[in-house]
Amino acid sequence: MFVDTTFRDGHQSLIATRMTTEDILGIIEAVDELGFRALEVWGGATFDVCVRYLNEDPWERIRLVKAKLKNSKTQMLLRGQNLVGYRHYADDVVELFVRKAVENGVEIVRIFDALNDVRNLEKSIEVALKCGAHVQGAISYTVSPVHTVEYFVNYAGELVERGVHSLCIKDMAGLLTPKAAGELVSELKKRYGLPVEVHSHATAGLGELAYITAFQAGADVIDTAFSPFAMATSQPAFETFYHVLSEYVDLPKIDWKKVDSIVRYLWEVRKKYEAYDVKMVTIDHRIIVSQVPGGMYSNLVKQLSEQKMLDKLDEVLEEIPRVRKDLGYPPLVTPTSQIVGVQAVLNVMTGERYAKVTREVKDYVKGLYGKPPAPIDPELVKKILGDEKPIEGRPADYLEPELENRKREIGLLAQSDEDLLIYAILGEVGRQYLRRRYENSLYVDWKLAEEFEGGYPV
């Protein structure tokens, strides 16, 4: 019934993913004892943040967590061909990464693509299946005239054809209304008979309402986090939903004292990272009022302020839906939210729409991100690409294998496939981490050596 996201989306949404492996290990066994179906503890931004900011080995995190779990399965979030990075990787990187993720302890792989282009998931689904993982195909939920129930159900069909074991409605921006959730879940259940999970966010107050109607419509699992890492831009709270749903169905008895002690522990963790805390005390009405997600809105305000153009905010807010329409209604999530946002600002700034376009818009129009949900305005394609033609096939087919080059570049700093992947996925950031680790190991050796030369104390 419940998947816990405290250790992935929970801290990713509320404290910039700053929870350390130590923070997690201090409580994960207690959480495991409560009997969640799975704990999402890996993937998403956690891989990057471990390496970039925490000086931690993400592979070690999943191994240590896995070793502690007796009841719940480990779950990771995988961005399809983007893996846990921010661009498409070649298939050899995808193959190695997914294999290593499963080998190191991931049992459920939730895979999604921001554009819902199944060709961006194909490879990782295939590999995850081959490795024996439970593969969950996630639908990126968004709202637009083309994103109808039928659209999502058809897309789910493509995932089902690829052999996924379960489906997830992944509403990363908290847009899913209770009405839409009910309709979508019931249609998915009817058509495919697979387990359906719902993942949403409380950002605009919609996520928790969607969970109720999704449950009424037959959803099998909802994603929640413990209250210190729930609500606001994170998931709805476990405590609330356990209490609420236990009035409808028989749930296994829960030890509320244990819940209370987990909550107290997690509050201490949250307080430690106050500097990163979103500190949001109510819903964000902007997603409802202007159809622009809160994070994107804040970025816009910052960007326009820096350029002393804050007076253009309303114009830009009106331009965003137009750009989104021109580009075939991509969901406004990373990276498309930036692509659309920056282009909208350019359109307003220059006074002529698409007089300038960013490199990213050009790549997007060329098809390098995948197939947009709706066709791009043909005039715009012509204006931007000129005589160039958009690519026809699967974006990753245009990428040369990468691993051999990466291996050569990183040399001895990578002592394992896992190390190699840190570099292959995160590039320079990965290399710096590996170098720091190498230098620290030397330092430790020197210390040992000094001690040795000085002789042991008697």
H helices present in 167-312, as ranges: 178-192, 207-216, 238-245, 256-272, 286-289, 294-306
Per-residue b/e over 361-383, b at no fewer than 16 CB within 10 Å?
beebbbbbbbbbbbebbeebbee
Tell me the closest approach of the beta carbon of residue 256 to a second copy, in angstroms.
5
Decide which of a second copy, Co ion, none touches 91; Cβ closer than 5 to 8 Å per partner kind.
none
Cα end-to-end span (Å), the chain: 60
Nearer to Co ion, 168 or 323 (CB): 168
8: number of Cβ within 10 Å: 29
Closer to a second copy by Cβ: residue 248 or 443: 248
225 secondary structure, DSSP code: B
For the CB of residue 389, give the shortest distance to a second copy in the complex, in Å: 41
Binding mask 1-40 for Co ion (x = CB under 5 A): --------x-------------------------------
Q: What angle do CA 223, 227, 25 make, to 5 degrees?
A: 80
Question: Which of 255, 249, 261, 253 minimizes the C-alpha distance to 220?
Answer: 249
| Residue 9 interacts with which of Co ion, a second copy, none, CB < 5 to 8 Å by class | Co ion
Residues counted in the chain: 458
Q: Which does 232 bind (CB under 5 to 8 A by kind): Co ion, a second copy, none?
A: a second copy
Binding mask 139-178 for Co ion (x = CB under 5 A): ---------------------------------x------
> Cβ closer to a second copy: 178 or 295?
178
Asked if 235 and 200 count as a contact pair (C-beta separation under 8 A), the reply is yes
Beta carbon of residue 404, minimum distance to Co ion (angstroms, whole number): 35
Residues binding Co ion: number (CB under 5 A): 2
Output the smallest distance, CB 272 to a second copy, in A. 15
> CB of 417: closest distance to a second copy in angstroms?
39
The residue ranges that bind a second copy (CB under 8 A) are: 177-180, 204-206, 208-209, 212-213, 227-232, 236-237, 239-241, 243-244, 247-248, 256-257, 259-260, 263, 277, 279-286, 288-290
Comparing CB distances to a second copy, the nearer of 99 and 286 is: 286
- 298-315 core/surface letters (b: 16 or more CB in 10 A; e: else): ebbeeebeeeeeeebbeb
Q: Please tell me the distance from the alpha carbon of residue 361 to that of residue 314, in angstroms, as a whole number.
A: 22
279 touches which of a second copy, Co ion, none (CB within 5 to 8 A by kind)?
Answer: a second copy
DSSP element (H, E) containing 38: strand 38-43
Q: Does 419 bind Co ion (CB under 5 A)?
A: no
